[in-house]
Amino acid sequence: MKERSLIRLSTRFIGAAALIALFVPVLQAVAQQHVPPAPDTTSEPSAPTQQPSDTAPGDQQPGAPPAAPAPSGPPVFPKPDPANFTAVAPTKEVVDGFLQANWGYDADRMWQVQAILKTPADGVSKVIVLIGDKTGKQKPQVLSFFALPDGKHIISGEDIINFGANPFADARQQLQQHANGPYRGAASKDLELVEFADFQCPHCKEAQANMEKLAADYPKARIVFENYPIPAAHPQALNAAEYGVCVTKLGGSSAFFQFASAVFDGQDGLATPDGATLTLNSATTKAGLDPAKVAACAATPEVKADVEASLQLGKDLGVNEVPTLMINGRALPVAAIPYDLLKKIIDYQAKADGVSGQ
């Protein structure tokens, strides 16, 4: 598995602006059948012709590069045709609620539900949405997806996505019940940030800087670490995960995060089996525990089952790459998002869920 796959999914669905919150890789820059394309209000004018030598001060000088075009303002979407709303479900209100849940953190995002169409498949509807940017800096896009009869899922590209006005609720409930990894911060699960990571994954190491900042900025949040080793890509990841489980069992969450920090800092040592043993034993010592006891613990079937349970939780939630951060059930590629944007999304999700983490 390629650990950056989630990042690629997120940025593809983000399209013109920063749609990092919605993992649907189907933004299309072409018009769909039945729906006229949104007008292109952001195309740049052609370069101006050269000015004469007596150009007045402040005017374009000969040979100078053209000035950047000013933002043209929000796009004007074509009025939806009632004839394009042939499906009973989902309703326009449900689609709007779904998009608001995903995009509401971005004040510059605008959209318009353009069509909800019946398809030959019983109960399956095709939804088409026009997307724009209020500043006029981004080219309008067209998003299409298929809504399934259960009202809880959509198909976009090759992916099945949770749907509805509160699309993250089911995942949030699963995490509250089953995310039992070491944690820091609050005991309350009102605002729960669950990181799925692999100790040998370079991008997981990169993500730790953001995770440390989150721990400082959100003292009322519960920040959980869930093992998601990918042995096919990282041969020592499973062993490191098993050590981490035992460090938690013997020393608690505080010892685990000391251990985890040391392992990520010494990640290059995991490149070989012998190096991994030295790295993990050193990290265990830094966490204040006996490496021999932790190694013996890591070899037990119970610990292997613990790691497998963490992996299964991630798979059940649709996590198939690392690192992934779940914010009350909302999945984000934490290593790929600028910290200010990450905080913005967390604040929005916390407000939507009626909780506070600060």
Q: Report the SS3 class of residue 351.
A: helix
Phi and psi, residue 6, nearest 5°: -60, -40
Q: Kindly tell me if the per-residue pLDDT of 244 is higher than 60.
A: yes
Q: Give pLDDT, residue 173.
A: 97
Q: Tokens in use for 53?
A: 């030598």
Are 239 and 166 spatial neighbours (Cβ–Cβ below 8 Å)?
no
Q: Is the pTM of this model over 0.85?
A: no
Which comes out higher in pLDDT, residue 48 or 277?
Answer: 277
Condensed to tens digits (0 to 9), the pLDDT of residues 280-329 reads 999 999 999 999 999 999 999 999 999 999 999 999 999 978 999 999 99
DSSP letter assigned to residue 270: G
Q: Kindly tell me if the per-residue pLDDT of 109 is higher than 50.
A: yes
Give mean pLDDT, residues 145-170.
94
Q: Give pLDDT, residue 70.
A: 57
Phi and psi, residue 223, nearest 5°: -110, 115
Are 11 and 336 spatial neighbours (Cβ–Cβ below 8 Å)?
yes
Q: Give pLDDT, residue 216.
A: 96
Quickly list DSSP for 301-334.
HHHHHHHHHHHHHHHHTT--SS-EEEETTEEE-G
Going from the C-alpha of 211 to that of each of 115, 244, 323, 337, the distances in angstroms are: 40, 17, 11, 12
Domain boundaries defined on the chain: 5-30+73-167, 170-352
Q: Which residues contact 37 (CB under 8 A, 6 or more apart)?
A: 30, 31, 140, 142
The rounded mean pLDDT for the chain is: 84
Give mean pLDDT, residues 238-267.
98
Q: Which residues contact 356 (CB under 8 A, 6 or more apart)?
A: 190, 191, 220, 350
Q: Of 298, 182, 290, 296, which is closest to residue 242 (Cα–Cα)?
A: 298
Reply yes or no on domain 170-352 having CATH 3.40.30.10. Answer: yes
Q: Kindly tell me if the per-residue pLDDT of 101 is higher than 50.
A: yes
How far apart are alpha carbons 5 and 130 in whole angstroms?
Answer: 26
Q: Tokens in use for 126?
A: 């095709």
Q: Which residues contact 349 (CB under 8 A, 6 or more apart)?
A: 105, 168, 327, 328, 330
Q: Tokens in use for 160?
A: 């099945």
Are 225 and 195 spatial neighbours (Cβ–Cβ below 8 Å)?
yes
Give mean pLDDT, residues 167-192.
97
What is the CB-side half-sphere exposure of residue 127 using CA atoms within 13 A?
30
Q: Kindly tell me if the per-residue pLDDT of 48 is higher than 50.
A: no
Q: Give pLDDT, residue 67.
A: 55
Going from the C-alpha of 122 to that of each of 88, 146, 182, the distances in angstroms are: 11, 12, 45
Name the E strands within 119-270: 125-133, 141-147, 153-156, 159-162, 183-185, 192-197, 222-227
Tally Cβ neighbours within 10 Å of residue 31: 14
Q: Based on C-alpha coordinates, what's the Rg of the chain?
A: 25
SS3 assignment for 64-118: CCCCCCCCCCCCCCCCCCHHHECCCCCCHHHHHHHHHHHHCCCCCEEEEEEEEEE
Is 65 buried (19+), middle (13-18) or exposed (0-12) by CB count in 10 A? exposed
Q: Which residues contact 189 (CB under 8 A, 6 or more apart)?
A: 175, 176, 222
